[in-house]
Protein backbone atom coordinates (compact mmCIF):
# COMPACT_ATOMS: atom_id res chain seq x y z
CA UNK A 1 0.00 0.00 0.00
CA UNK A 2 1.15 3.54 -0.76
CA UNK A 3 0.73 6.09 2.02
CA UNK A 4 1.91 9.68 2.43
CA UNK A 5 3.21 11.24 5.64
CA UNK A 6 3.24 15.02 5.77
CA UNK A 7 5.66 16.99 7.98
CA UNK A 8 6.33 20.66 8.58
CA UNK A 9 9.80 21.80 7.48
CA UNK A 10 11.92 24.32 9.40
CA UNK A 11 14.49 25.62 6.88
CA UNK A 12 17.03 28.35 7.60
CA UNK A 13 17.34 31.46 5.44
CA UNK A 14 19.79 29.91 2.96
CA UNK A 15 17.68 26.77 2.60
CA UNK A 16 14.52 28.84 2.09
CA UNK A 17 16.19 30.65 -0.81
CA UNK A 18 17.21 27.31 -2.36
CA UNK A 19 13.70 25.91 -1.94
CA UNK A 20 12.19 28.99 -3.57
CA UNK A 21 14.69 28.77 -6.44
CA UNK A 22 13.74 25.15 -7.10
CA UNK A 23 10.03 25.93 -6.99
CA UNK A 24 10.59 28.91 -9.31
CA UNK A 25 12.46 26.79 -11.87
CA UNK A 26 9.75 24.12 -11.80
CA UNK A 27 7.09 26.80 -12.23
CA UNK A 28 9.04 28.36 -15.12
CA UNK A 29 9.30 25.01 -16.92
CA UNK A 30 5.58 24.29 -16.48
CA UNK A 31 4.60 27.74 -17.77
CA UNK A 32 6.83 27.28 -20.84
CA UNK A 33 5.08 23.99 -21.60
CA UNK A 34 1.65 25.58 -21.11
CA UNK A 35 2.64 28.42 -23.43
CA UNK A 36 3.60 25.93 -26.14
CA UNK A 37 0.43 23.91 -25.58
CA UNK A 38 -1.84 26.96 -25.83
CA UNK A 39 -0.03 28.27 -28.92
CA UNK A 40 -1.63 25.59 -31.09
CA UNK A 41 -3.71 26.98 -33.94
CA UNK A 42 -5.08 24.93 -36.80
CA UNK A 43 -4.18 27.55 -39.42
CA UNK A 44 -1.17 29.52 -38.14
CA UNK A 45 0.58 26.98 -35.89
CA UNK A 46 -0.62 23.43 -36.65
CA UNK A 47 2.54 21.73 -35.33
CA UNK A 48 3.58 22.44 -31.73
CA UNK A 49 7.00 21.33 -30.44
CA UNK A 50 7.67 20.89 -26.72
CA UNK A 51 11.19 21.35 -25.40
CA UNK A 52 12.54 18.83 -22.92
CA UNK A 53 13.71 19.77 -19.45
CA UNK A 54 17.33 19.24 -20.54
CA UNK A 55 16.97 21.68 -23.43
CA UNK A 56 15.38 24.38 -21.28
CA UNK A 57 18.04 23.95 -18.58
CA UNK A 58 20.80 24.41 -21.18
CA UNK A 59 19.17 27.60 -22.45
CA UNK A 60 18.94 29.07 -18.92
CA UNK A 61 22.10 28.78 -16.82
CA UNK A 62 20.30 29.84 -13.63
CA UNK A 63 18.18 26.67 -13.83
CA UNK A 64 21.31 24.55 -13.41
CA UNK A 65 21.62 25.73 -9.80
CA UNK A 66 18.73 23.47 -8.76
CA UNK A 67 18.22 19.72 -8.94
CA UNK A 68 17.54 18.48 -12.48
CA UNK A 69 15.35 15.70 -11.03
CA UNK A 70 12.76 18.22 -9.80
CA UNK A 71 12.29 19.62 -13.31
CA UNK A 72 12.28 16.13 -14.82
CA UNK A 73 9.45 15.14 -12.46
CA UNK A 74 7.45 18.14 -13.68
CA UNK A 75 8.15 17.03 -17.25
CA UNK A 76 6.63 13.64 -16.39
CA UNK A 77 3.59 15.41 -14.89
CA UNK A 78 3.02 17.42 -18.07
CA UNK A 79 3.30 14.32 -20.26
CA UNK A 80 0.71 12.62 -18.06
CA UNK A 81 -1.54 15.68 -18.37
CA UNK A 82 -1.35 15.55 -22.17
CA UNK A 83 -2.14 11.85 -22.09
CA UNK A 84 -5.23 12.45 -19.95
CA UNK A 85 -6.30 15.51 -21.94
CA UNK A 86 -6.42 13.62 -25.23
CA UNK A 87 -7.74 10.36 -23.75
CA UNK A 88 -10.92 9.08 -25.39
CA UNK A 89 -11.73 6.73 -22.52
CA UNK A 90 -11.61 9.34 -19.77
CA UNK A 91 -15.08 10.02 -18.30
CA UNK A 92 -14.45 13.60 -17.20
CA UNK A 93 -13.09 16.15 -19.69
CA UNK A 94 -9.93 18.05 -18.73
CA UNK A 95 -9.66 21.59 -20.06
CA UNK A 96 -6.57 23.48 -21.14
CA UNK A 97 -3.70 23.79 -18.62
CA UNK A 98 -3.33 27.01 -16.66
CA UNK A 99 -0.24 29.02 -15.80
CA UNK A 100 1.17 28.71 -12.29
CA UNK A 101 1.42 31.97 -10.33
CA UNK A 102 4.17 33.00 -7.96
CA UNK A 103 1.81 33.86 -5.09
CA UNK A 104 -0.11 30.58 -5.16
CA UNK A 105 0.85 27.29 -3.57
CA UNK A 106 4.27 26.13 -4.85
CA UNK A 107 5.74 22.64 -4.91
CA UNK A 108 8.27 20.27 -6.46
CA UNK A 109 8.81 16.52 -6.29
CA UNK A 110 11.95 14.39 -6.03
CA UNK A 111 12.33 10.61 -6.51
CA UNK A 112 13.69 8.37 -3.74
CA UNK A 113 17.27 8.51 -5.09
CA UNK A 114 17.46 12.29 -4.55
CA UNK A 115 16.53 12.50 -0.86
CA UNK A 116 17.13 10.69 2.40
CA UNK A 117 16.04 10.94 6.03
CA UNK A 118 18.72 11.28 8.71
CA UNK A 119 17.30 11.43 12.27
CA UNK A 120 15.17 14.62 12.40
CA UNK A 121 16.44 16.01 9.09
CA UNK A 122 15.61 15.49 5.42
CA UNK A 123 18.47 15.73 2.95
CA UNK A 124 17.42 17.13 -0.43
CA UNK A 125 19.69 17.20 -3.46
CA UNK A 126 21.46 20.58 -3.93
CA UNK A 127 19.66 22.01 -0.86
CA UNK A 128 21.07 20.12 2.11
CA UNK A 129 19.71 18.79 5.38
CA UNK A 130 16.51 20.52 6.50
CA UNK A 131 15.00 20.07 9.93
CA UNK A 132 11.43 18.84 10.12
CA UNK A 133 8.90 18.41 12.93
CA UNK A 134 8.40 14.67 13.32
CA UNK A 135 4.95 14.61 14.92
CA UNK A 136 4.55 10.93 13.96
CA UNK A 137 7.23 8.41 12.95
CA UNK A 138 7.45 6.74 9.58
CA UNK A 139 6.56 3.00 9.52
CA UNK A 140 9.39 0.61 10.25
CA UNK A 141 10.94 -1.07 7.19
CA UNK A 142 8.93 1.08 4.77
CA UNK A 143 10.20 1.82 1.26
CA UNK A 144 10.65 5.49 0.38
CA UNK A 145 9.07 6.30 -2.99
CA UNK A 146 9.15 10.09 -3.45
CA UNK A 147 8.96 13.39 -1.60
CA UNK A 148 6.89 16.47 -2.45
CA UNK A 149 8.08 19.74 -0.94
CA UNK A 150 5.48 22.50 -0.92
CA UNK A 151 4.99 26.06 0.29
CA UNK A 152 1.50 27.32 1.10
CA UNK A 153 0.15 30.85 0.94
CA UNK A 154 1.16 31.37 4.59
CA UNK A 155 4.85 30.93 3.60
CA UNK A 156 5.16 27.64 5.50
CA UNK A 157 7.07 24.70 4.04
CA UNK A 158 5.92 21.08 4.14
CA UNK A 159 7.30 17.73 3.03
CA UNK A 160 4.95 14.92 1.99
CA UNK A 161 6.83 11.61 1.97
CA UNK A 162 5.25 8.82 -0.05
CA UNK A 163 6.13 5.35 1.27
CA UNK A 164 5.22 1.78 0.44
CA UNK A 165 4.24 -0.08 3.59
CA UNK A 166 1.94 -2.70 5.06
CA UNK A 167 -1.15 -1.20 6.72
CA UNK A 168 -2.67 -3.09 9.64
CA UNK A 169 -6.37 -3.65 8.94
CA UNK A 170 -9.13 -2.97 11.45
CA UNK A 171 -10.97 -5.84 13.12
CA UNK A 172 -14.25 -6.96 11.55
CA UNK A 173 -17.39 -5.79 13.38
CA UNK A 174 -20.04 -7.44 11.12
CA UNK A 175 -21.96 -4.13 11.06
CA UNK A 176 -23.39 -2.25 8.09
CA UNK A 177 -24.27 1.43 7.93
CA UNK A 178 -25.93 3.89 5.57
CA UNK A 179 -24.92 7.55 5.60
CA UNK A 180 -27.12 10.45 4.53
CA UNK A 181 -25.16 13.71 4.39
CA UNK A 182 -26.75 17.12 4.66
CA UNK A 183 -26.27 20.78 5.45
CA UNK A 184 -28.28 21.13 8.67
CA UNK A 185 -26.67 17.99 10.12
CA UNK A 186 -23.39 16.86 8.61
CA UNK A 187 -24.36 13.18 8.54
CA UNK A 188 -27.15 10.96 9.80
CA UNK A 189 -26.33 7.26 10.19
CA UNK A 190 -28.88 4.49 9.77
CA UNK A 191 -28.41 3.36 13.39
CA UNK A 192 -29.64 6.74 14.67
CA UNK A 193 -26.30 8.49 15.26
CA UNK A 194 -26.33 12.14 14.16
CA UNK A 195 -23.06 14.01 13.46
CA UNK A 196 -23.48 17.76 13.86
CA UNK A 197 -22.23 20.21 11.25
CA UNK A 198 -19.39 22.29 12.81
CA UNK A 199 -19.82 25.29 10.40
CA UNK A 200 -16.15 26.29 10.56
CA UNK A 201 -16.38 28.81 7.72
CA UNK A 202 -19.52 30.42 9.14
CA UNK A 203 -17.87 30.80 12.56
CA UNK A 204 -14.82 32.55 11.07
CA UNK A 205 -16.73 34.59 8.50
CA UNK A 206 -16.85 37.80 10.57
CA UNK A 207 -13.09 37.69 11.23
CA UNK A 208 -12.39 36.92 7.57
CA UNK A 209 -14.64 39.74 6.37
CA UNK A 210 -12.82 42.23 8.60
CA UNK A 211 -9.40 41.07 7.36
CA UNK A 212 -10.47 41.19 3.71
CA UNK A 213 -11.88 44.70 4.15
CA UNK A 214 -8.54 45.89 5.51
CA UNK A 215 -6.72 44.18 2.65
CA UNK A 216 -8.86 45.95 0.04
CA UNK A 217 -7.84 49.36 1.40
CA UNK A 218 -4.09 48.79 1.18
CA UNK A 219 -2.04 50.00 -1.76
CA UNK A 220 -1.04 47.29 -4.21
CA UNK A 221 2.62 46.30 -3.90
CA UNK A 222 3.04 47.81 -0.42
CA UNK A 223 4.42 45.91 2.57
CA UNK A 224 1.23 46.53 4.54
CA UNK A 225 -0.80 44.86 1.81
CA UNK A 226 1.50 41.83 2.01
CA UNK A 227 0.94 41.63 5.78
CA UNK A 228 -2.83 41.86 5.38
CA UNK A 229 -2.77 39.28 2.61
CA UNK A 230 -0.83 36.93 4.87
CA UNK A 231 -3.39 37.41 7.63
CA UNK A 232 -6.25 36.53 5.26
CA UNK A 233 -4.33 33.44 4.13
CA UNK A 234 -3.83 32.34 7.75
CA UNK A 235 -7.56 32.56 8.45
CA UNK A 236 -8.31 30.44 5.38
CA UNK A 237 -5.61 27.97 6.45
CA UNK A 238 -7.09 27.70 9.94
CA UNK A 239 -10.55 26.94 8.52
CA UNK A 240 -9.11 24.32 6.16
CA UNK A 241 -7.15 22.66 8.98
CA UNK A 242 -10.20 22.55 11.26
CA UNK A 243 -12.35 21.04 8.51
CA UNK A 244 -9.74 18.46 7.52
CA UNK A 245 -9.19 17.40 11.14
CA UNK A 246 -12.95 16.97 11.61
CA UNK A 247 -13.33 14.93 8.42
CA UNK A 248 -10.37 12.68 9.31
CA UNK A 249 -11.78 11.95 12.77
CA UNK A 250 -15.29 11.21 11.50
CA UNK A 251 -14.19 9.07 8.52
CA UNK A 252 -11.72 7.01 10.59
CA UNK A 253 -14.33 6.40 13.29
CA UNK A 254 -16.91 5.20 10.73
CA UNK A 255 -14.44 2.93 8.90
CA UNK A 256 -13.31 1.44 12.22
CA UNK A 257 -16.84 0.72 13.52
CA UNK A 258 -18.53 -0.66 10.36
CA UNK A 259 -17.62 -3.26 7.74
CA UNK A 260 -19.98 -2.13 4.96
CA UNK A 261 -20.53 1.61 4.42
CA UNK A 262 -23.17 2.79 1.95
CA UNK A 263 -23.31 6.36 0.62
CA UNK A 264 -25.05 8.23 -2.18
CA UNK A 265 -23.18 9.05 -5.39
CA UNK A 266 -23.89 12.78 -5.17
CA UNK A 267 -23.17 15.28 -7.93
CA UNK A 268 -21.43 17.75 -5.63
CA UNK A 269 -20.14 19.88 -8.54
CA UNK A 270 -23.71 20.34 -9.72
CA UNK A 271 -25.00 21.06 -6.21
CA UNK A 272 -22.47 23.87 -5.75
CA UNK A 273 -23.95 25.67 -8.77
CA UNK A 274 -26.99 26.49 -6.63
CA UNK A 275 -26.02 29.97 -5.40
CA UNK A 276 -28.33 29.68 -2.38
CA UNK A 277 -26.59 26.58 -1.01
CA UNK A 278 -23.10 26.86 -2.54
CA UNK A 279 -21.41 28.33 0.54
CA UNK A 280 -22.94 25.78 2.92
CA UNK A 281 -22.14 22.83 0.63
CA UNK A 282 -18.54 23.98 0.20
CA UNK A 283 -18.21 24.41 3.96
CA UNK A 284 -19.11 20.77 4.73
CA UNK A 285 -16.91 19.45 1.90
CA UNK A 286 -18.81 16.31 0.88
CA UNK A 287 -16.32 15.37 -1.85
CA UNK A 288 -13.35 15.26 0.50
CA UNK A 289 -15.34 13.24 3.05
CA UNK A 290 -16.32 10.65 0.42
CA UNK A 291 -12.73 10.53 -0.83
CA UNK A 292 -11.47 9.83 2.69
CA UNK A 293 -13.99 7.04 3.15
CA UNK A 294 -12.93 5.56 -0.19
CA UNK A 295 -9.20 5.26 0.44
CA UNK A 296 -9.54 4.37 4.13
CA UNK A 297 -11.87 1.49 3.27
CA UNK A 298 -9.21 0.20 0.85
CA UNK A 299 -6.51 0.60 3.50
CA UNK A 300 -8.33 -1.13 6.34
CA UNK A 301 -10.18 -3.88 4.44
CA UNK A 302 -13.72 -2.47 4.55
CA UNK A 303 -16.38 -2.15 1.81
CA UNK A 304 -17.67 1.17 0.45
CA UNK A 305 -20.84 0.98 -1.66
CA UNK A 306 -22.07 3.92 -3.72
CA UNK A 307 -25.77 3.69 -4.56
CA UNK A 308 -27.00 5.18 -7.88
CA UNK A 309 -27.33 8.97 -7.98
CA UNK A 310 -31.04 9.14 -8.80
CA UNK A 311 -32.22 6.58 -6.24
CA UNK A 312 -35.19 8.15 -4.33
CA UNK A 313 -33.78 7.40 -0.88
CA UNK A 314 -35.49 10.41 0.75
CA UNK A 315 -38.88 9.83 -0.90
CA UNK A 316 -39.03 6.09 -0.11
CA UNK A 317 -40.68 4.85 3.09
CA UNK A 318 -38.25 2.67 5.07
CA UNK A 319 -41.23 0.80 6.54
CA UNK A 320 -43.32 -0.30 3.55
CA UNK A 321 -41.29 0.84 0.53
CA UNK A 322 -43.85 3.34 -0.78
CA UNK A 323 -42.33 6.14 -2.88
CA UNK A 324 -43.74 9.65 -2.56
CA UNK A 325 -44.20 11.69 -5.72
CA UNK A 326 -43.20 14.96 -4.07
CA UNK A 327 -41.15 15.78 -0.97
CA UNK A 328 -40.26 19.39 -0.22
CA UNK A 329 -36.90 20.28 1.30
CA UNK A 330 -38.70 22.05 4.16
CA UNK A 331 -40.38 18.78 5.25
CA UNK A 332 -37.98 17.52 7.92
CA UNK A 333 -40.25 14.65 9.07
CA UNK A 334 -41.15 11.89 6.64
CA UNK A 335 -44.81 10.80 6.78
CA UNK A 336 -45.93 7.82 4.71
CA UNK A 337 -49.41 8.17 3.22
CA UNK A 338 -49.81 4.39 2.89
CA UNK A 339 -48.72 2.87 6.23
CA UNK A 340 -48.65 6.04 8.34
CA UNK A 341 -44.97 5.58 9.23
CA UNK A 342 -43.34 8.74 10.63
CA UNK A 343 -39.63 9.29 11.00
CA UNK A 344 -36.96 11.95 10.72
CA UNK A 345 -36.35 12.62 7.03
CA UNK A 346 -32.56 12.08 7.12
CA UNK A 347 -32.78 8.94 9.28
CA UNK A 348 -35.34 7.46 6.89
CA UNK A 349 -33.03 8.18 3.93
CA UNK A 350 -29.99 6.65 5.67
CA UNK A 351 -31.92 3.42 6.42
CA UNK A 352 -32.90 3.16 2.76
CA UNK A 353 -29.30 3.81 1.67
CA UNK A 354 -28.08 1.03 3.97
CA UNK A 355 -30.64 -1.48 2.63
CA UNK A 356 -29.88 -0.64 -1.01
CA UNK A 357 -26.12 -0.81 -0.41
CA UNK A 358 -26.33 -4.26 1.23
CA UNK A 359 -28.49 -5.57 -1.64
CA UNK A 360 -26.04 -4.21 -4.23
CA UNK A 361 -23.15 -5.90 -2.41
CA UNK A 362 -24.99 -9.24 -2.40
CA UNK A 363 -25.68 -9.04 -6.13
CA UNK A 364 -22.09 -8.07 -6.96
Residue 104 designated active-site: no
**Residues in Cβ contact with 203 at an 8 Å cutoff, skipping those fewer than 6 apart:** none
Residues paired with residue 189 on neighbouring β-strands, in sequence order? 179
Which positions ≥6 away from 110 have C-beta within 8 Å? Answer: 67, 69, 70, 73, 124, 125, 146, 147, 149
User: Is-contact 110 69, C-beta < 8 A?
Assistant: yes
What angle separates helix 200-216 from helix 223-257, to the nearest 10 degrees? Answer: 170
Catalytic annotation, pick one of 75, 259, 283, 346: 346
The answer to whether the beta carbons of residues 302 and 175 sit under 8 Å apart is no
SS3 content of the chain, % helix, strand, coil (to 5): 45, 20, 35
Active site residue 185: no
Q: Length of the chain in residues, anyone? A: 364
Is residue 346 among the annotated active site residues?
A: yes
User: Exactly one of 75, 259, 264, 283 is catalytic; which is it?
Assistant: 264
> What distance in Å separates the CA atoms of residue 60 and residue 68, rounded to the nearest whole number?
12
Which among 75, 180, 259, 283 is annotated as catalytic? 180
Distance separating alpha carbons of residues 56 and 40, to the nearest angstrom: 20
Cβ-based burial of 28 (10 A; exposed 0-12, middle 13-18, buried ≥19)? middle
Q: Check: CB of residue 174 under 8 Å from CB of residue 183.
A: no
Residues acting as catalytic residues: 180, 264, 346
Amino acid sequence: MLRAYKYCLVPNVKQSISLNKTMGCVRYYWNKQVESFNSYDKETNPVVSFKTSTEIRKENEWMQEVSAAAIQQKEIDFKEFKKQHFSNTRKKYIGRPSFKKRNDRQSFRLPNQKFSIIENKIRLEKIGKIKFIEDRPLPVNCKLMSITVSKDTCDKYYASILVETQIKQFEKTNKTIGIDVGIKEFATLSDGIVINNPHYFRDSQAELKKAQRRLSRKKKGSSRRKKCKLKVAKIHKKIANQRENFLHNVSTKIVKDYDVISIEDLNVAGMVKNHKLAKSISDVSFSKFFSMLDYKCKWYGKELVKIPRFTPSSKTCSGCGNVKKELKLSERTYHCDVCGHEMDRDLNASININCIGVEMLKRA
